[in-house]
Amino acid sequence: MVNIEEVLELIKGGYTNPKEIARVMGINVEEVSGIIKILESLGYIEKVEFGSSVCSRCPMKKICSGSCIHFKGQIYQISEKNSSNSSKTP
């Protein structure tokens, strides 16, 4: 059984999309997507919305060339309201 806390820790560690997390954990993307929906509904993570300010909020901004605006997948990050409470997990 997949542990919600493991997925949250991977996101905290820089894994930002469901396909990447599924590959690392050795599970299918649907399982990861379900866990991500739970974490998002609880306010632990948020989807990075692409738009004019996406680069300033992106967790990858230090290493990115700025061309990810054409990325077709989904990227998640720790919610701003929960980043100060990062020791608390679901």
Among 53, 59, 51, smallest CA distance to 10 is for 59
Residue 18 within a domain: yes
47 versus 40: the higher-pLDDT residue is 40
Residue 22 within a domain: yes
Structurally, the chain folds into a number of domains equal to 1
Rounded to a whole number, what is the largest CA-CA distance in the chain? 39
Look up the pTM and report it: 0.62
Burial class (CB in 10 A: 0-12, 13-18, 19+), 82: middle
27 versus 74: the higher-pLDDT residue is 27
pLDDT of 20 > 80? The answer is: yes
* C-alpha angle 49-54-60 in degrees, rounded to nearest 5: 105
Among 88, 90, 53, 48, smallest CA distance to 71 is for 48
Residue 19 within a domain: yes
